[in-house]
Amino acid sequence: MTALVLSPTNEAHEPPEARGLARGGVRLLVSRGQDEPVDTTFARIGTFLVPGDLLVVNTSATIPAALDGRLRDGEPVVVHLSGTLPGEVWLVEVRRPDRGATVPLALDDPTDVALLAGGRIRLLAPFAGSRRLWLALLDVGLPVLDYAAAHGRPIRYRHVPQEWPLPSYQTIFAREPGSAEMPSASRPFSHELVTELVGRGVLIAPLLLHTGVSSLEGGEAPYPERYRVPGTTAEAVNSVRHGGGRVIAAGTTVVRALATVTDDHGVVHPGHGWTDVIVSPEYPVPSVDGLLTGWHEPESSHLQMLEAFAGPGALAAAYAQALELGYLWHEFGDSHLILRDFS
């Protein structure tokens, strides 16, 4: 897809509630095959779904993953917890405070980071050759998530100029804490909207994928993220597709989890563990027929996944229209529903 240039006017700088909107009041662009994309609002998403459609959602809850610390020389840093790896090792990103936000900090050698309340992070080794992502051990005197709840705050990048409380970064489906950043595709849903969808005959099934930091640089490979696909959800996906219905993934995290447990025949199996699967036009997910997502920056690797559903031409047209119509990017921004053309 041709590179796009985002300006601050294309960015959502605060939650929609701070702009006087309900969660479902954000805008929604609906793309289907080569048809002209439809400009609407998220609250009307039910008009584009039909009875028997299955919406698969991520029940991971966001944690306050930004921790203040200092390097051995006293330099202040902010450490972003990205997620756990096998063996109680954490993947973390070390960042430098910069004009009210943070920027990546490249470190040459392993070191320790002193945290608040006597906590410590021991940086063991770079992850996969990165100078920003580190394998780390945390010594904080209590469970890490408890420490983060007491001393951390939600991860925030420069496009969000002020801090917002943790509930602003939760979806209504959030149940199990573990995501470094919000699985934001589902943020516009409200309990009232879900009730409406169920009344229309739309089915809803859960899975779990704890998402890590989204600040990766271009060309960096995805890192492992923990996931769990219950047997009931696998059965629901297989049943709906066997009956000719559509499976809609609420977010790229859901696509990634389902891709991990879908076999070569398109059958979904229950599973759990860590996944680093990559979804692209060359490696699509036959068990998923549509994707609900936000608007991703031009260099984002998520665009490969989106092309697996929309195709590069249709995706480029949708992004161009979204820019022309003033859609907003990032976690507090507008939405995009991509449906494969069944006609």
Q: Which domain holds residue 144?
A: 66-151
Look at residue 309 in the predicted model and tell me its pLDDT.
79
Look at residue 214 in the predicted model and tell me its pLDDT.
85
Look at residue 343 in the predicted model and tell me its pLDDT.
43
Whether residue 239 is contained in a domain is answered as: yes
> Mean pLDDT, consecutive 10-residue segments, the chain of 343 residues?
71 97 98 90 97 98 98 96 94 94 92 97 92 93 97 96 97 98 98 98 98 73 91 98 96 96 96 92 89 80 74 86 95 95 53
d(CA 302, CA 323) in angstroms, rounded, equals 18
For residue 78, which of 164, 155, 146 has the smallest C-alpha distance?
155
Domain shared by 214 and 306, yes or no:
yes
Domain boundary among 117, 151, 185: 151
Look at residue 164 in the predicted model and tell me its pLDDT.
98
Domain shared by 212 and 114, yes or no:
no
Domain shared by 206 and 315, yes or no:
yes
Question: Could you tell me the CATH number of the domain that includes residue 89?
Answer: 2.40.10
Whether residue 267 is contained in a domain is answered as: yes
Report the first-to-last Cα separation within the chain, whole angstroms.
Answer: 25
Domain shared by 45 and 71, yes or no:
no
The model's pTM: 0.95
Q: Give the up-direction half-sphere exposure of residue 5: CA atoms within 13 A in the CB hemisphere.
A: 1
Whether residue 3 is contained in a domain is answered as: no
Domain count, the chain: 2
For the four alpha carbons of 161, 167, 170 and 172, in that order, the dihedral sign comes to: negative
Question: Could you tell me the CATH number of the domain that includes residue 230?
Answer: 3.40.1780.10
Domain shared by 317 and 232, yes or no:
yes
